[in-house]
Amino acid sequence: MRTVWVLGDQLNRSIGALADADPDRDRVLLVESHAKLTSKRWHRQRAHLVLAAMRRFADELRSAGFDVDHRRAASLRAGFREHVDEYAPGTVVATEPASWSGRELLRDLDVGLVRSNQFLCHYDEFDAWAADRRTLKMEDFYRWQRRRLGYLMDGDEPIGGRWNFDDENREPPPGPDHPGWPDPPRSRLDDVDREVLADLPSECWGAEPDGTWATSRRAALARLRHFVDHVLPVFGPHEDAMTTRSWHLAHSVLSPYLNIGLLLPGEVCDAVQDAFDAGDVPIASAEGFIRQVIGWREYVWGVYWRWMPEYRSANELGADRSLPPLFTGADTAMRCVAHTLQGVRDRAYAHHIQRLMVLGNLALLSGTDPWEMTDWMWSSFVDGAEWVMLPNVIGMSLHADGGRMASKPYAAGGNYIDTMSDYCGDCRFDRRARTGDDACPFTTLYWDFLARHHDRFVENARVARQVRAAERLGDLDAVRERAAEVLDLLDRGEL
């Protein structure tokens, strides 16, 4: 018999090697690796999602008639060896893994790799698109994807006459009269969940799962349906807003399912296109969402494979600060950070602007080591994976790749956070002040960052004006002095 080895982020009958699998001919192997489970201090809800989804998927395959060898082993390699010793399969195949090290391992074990269809643009296709381009602009890639995939297109032109509705999708949080956004459905925990939770290592951290995250394909499809029917029509305007009134706003919160295979990007985009075609969704909402899936998500996937493995160690700004203790439990008086981290503790989730402009921004301004930040985000978020975190943290957030991915550093002071959130009003810091004990740490560190990296960014057209403004600050010495105090407090977990 042939063995089809399914990894923990390939949990779908339609993916690669499983797509043509036959219970009469194929046995399925799933390995729960102790080494992987203890390789990081995983958020409990992340570890639970993957293990519970694997166990449910094994049951689903058994119900479809497959013989499933679902084993626990010291490592993936050990699990594979034990399986081969016990079953002596004629051949072993697997879908191309989503991580560089996973692909290296499977090649080393001589596992036959079947082309991955988990993304709409395979990394070979991304490479072909990227060849001969001086810069890899996401917007160019996105339009190329729109044209070749046909989403929201009228012939060769975008429906609505525009490719981009971002201008309509950057509103600050609405006032108290806004009705809010529908909550995502919840699942009831069952015996599978309880068994998984009992098996998690004691090093796992964060709140216990409460059913927020679906752990089966059926439940993930229900989440998709709920999003398209109830949330998508209001998706977009508050995409970049942050508020203490809602953790999800109108975000789809479907990324955990896409990233482990419970949902596939094509079916998600098809559902959005259908809702748009039926007249249920405005173009700005449909376009904003499709952009995130076939644009950003697939772009990040493509650059990961194009720039690995050296991308992992990029550190162009020479950032060498250890991960500040507030990321691992120390309290902070910064309301924006405290609220965002509380969300991470409660549900292993923060939306993209909280990740980029609060957590990532703090790491950028403070000069936190890019790999330490990447590793923390990878282990802390329910949708974490190396391919998604490396470009988003190293490239987008920390500018550690020197601008290969983002042409400017996403640095911002308290004013930006105040505009896009309701955090600052009740904060003990003053977002306008850059010196003194009450100065907003983001504002102080923002000016200090621009002054510190003056030579690198002064010729960058997108930030040159701010760099020159930093140069002209009359109180720059005092700003630098306060920045040193802030960084000291940050290091001691007392900010």
120-148 burial, b at 16+ Cβ within 10 Å, e below that, comes to bbbbebbeebbeeeeebebeebbebbbee
| Interacting residue with ligand SF4 among 57, 311, 376, 423 (CB under 6 A) | 423
| Interacting residue with ligand SF4 among 27, 122, 217, 431 (CB under 6 A) | 431
Distance in Å, CB of 400 to ligand SF4, minimum: 23
Q: How far apart are CA 142 and CA 127, in angstroms?
A: 14
Indicate whether 324 belongs to the interface with ligand SF4 (CB under 6 A).
Answer: no
Indicate whether 441 belongs to the interface with ligand SF4 (CB under 6 A).
Answer: yes
Half-sphere exposure of 243 (CA within 13 A, CB side): 19
**For ligand SF4, the closer CB: 184 or 441:** 441
| Interacting residue with ligand SF4 among 44, 55, 335, 399 (CB under 6 A) | 335
Indicate whether 418 belongs to the interface with ligand SF4 (CB under 6 A).
Answer: yes
Which residues, 127 to 146, sit near ligand SF4 by CB under 6 A?
A: none
The binding track of 388-417 with respect to ligand SF4, each residue x by CB under 6 A or -, is --------------------------x--x
Alpha helices in 191-309 (DSSP H): 191-199, 217-226, 255-260, 265-277, 283-290, 298-307
Distance in Å, CB of 425 to ligand SF4, minimum: 8
Indicate whether 424 belongs to the interface with ligand SF4 (CB under 6 A).
Answer: yes
Distance in Å, CB of 118 to ligand SF4, minimum: 37
- Contact segment (CB under 6 A) with ligand SF4 among 50-58, 207-215, 265-273, 421-429 equals 421-429
| Interacting residue with ligand SF4 among 220, 336, 373, 388 (CB under 6 A) | 336
Distance in Å, CB of 413 to ligand SF4, minimum: 8
Work out the burial of residue 478: count CB atoms within 10 Å of its CB; fewer than 13 is exposed, 13-18 middle, 19 or more buried.
Answer: middle
Indicate whether 304 belongs to the interface with ligand SF4 (CB under 6 A).
Answer: no
Distance in Å, CB of 335 to ligand SF4, minimum: 4
- Contact segment (CB under 6 A) with ligand SF4 among 75-83, 113-121, 125-133, 423-431 equals 423-431
| Spatial CA neighbour of 11 closest among 294, 271, 218, 226 | 218
Distance in Å, CB of 194 to ligand SF4, minimum: 38
Indicate whether 377 belongs to the interface with ligand SF4 (CB under 6 A).
Answer: no
**For ligand SF4, the closer CB: 376 or 429:** 429
| Spatial CA neighbour of 226 closest among 191, 192, 250 | 250
- Contact segment (CB under 6 A) with ligand SF4 among 185-193, 287-295, 316-324, 434-442 equals 434-442
Indicate whether 448 belongs to the interface with ligand SF4 (CB under 6 A).
Answer: no
**C-alpha R_g of the chain:** 23
Indicate whether 251 belongs to the interface with ligand SF4 (CB under 6 A).
Answer: no
Indicate whether 427 belongs to the interface with ligand SF4 (CB under 6 A).
Answer: yes
Work out the burial of residue 62: count CB atoms within 10 Å of its CB; fewer than 13 is exposed, 13-18 middle, 19 or more buried.
Answer: middle
**H or E element: which one contains 28?**
strand 26-33
Please say whether the beta carbons of 411 and 361 come within 8 A. Answer: yes
**H or E element: which one contains 138?**
helix 138-149
| Spatial CA neighbour of 242 closest among 345, 351, 332, 334 | 351
Please say whether the beta carbons of 388 and 342 come within 8 A. Answer: no
**For ligand SF4, the closer CB: 259 or 368:** 368
| Spatial CA neighbour of 261 closest among 65, 9, 20, 36 | 9
Please say whether the beta carbons of 179 and 244 come within 8 A. Answer: no
**For ligand SF4, the closer CB: 395 or 409:** 409
**For ligand SF4, the closer CB: 300 or 341:** 341
- Contact segment (CB under 6 A) with ligand SF4 among 56-64, 321-329, 439-447, 451-459 equals 439-447
**For ligand SF4, the closer CB: 317 or 486:** 486
What DSSP string describes 398-443? Answer: T-TTTTSS-SS-----HHHHHHTBS-GGG-SSBTT--SSTTB-HHH
Q: How far apart are CA 458 and CA 254, in angstroms?
A: 39
* Structure-token pair, residue 483: 């920045």
With CB under 6 A as the rule, give the number of residues binding ligand SF4. Answer: 14
Phi, psi angle pair for 91, to nearest 5°: -140, 160
Indicate whether 334 belongs to the interface with ligand SF4 (CB under 6 A).
Answer: yes
Half-sphere exposure of 473 (CA within 13 A, CB side): 22
Indicate whether 440 belongs to the interface with ligand SF4 (CB under 6 A).
Answer: yes
Indicate whether 486 belongs to the interface with ligand SF4 (CB under 6 A).
Answer: no
* Structure-token pair, residue 470: 């930093």
Distance in Å, CB of 441 to ligand SF4, minimum: 6
| Spatial CA neighbour of 439 closest among 472, 396, 484, 395 | 484
Indicate whether 355 belongs to the interface with ligand SF4 (CB under 6 A).
Answer: no
Report the interface residues with ligand SF4, using CB under 6 A: 334-336, 414, 417-418, 423-424, 427, 429, 431, 440-442
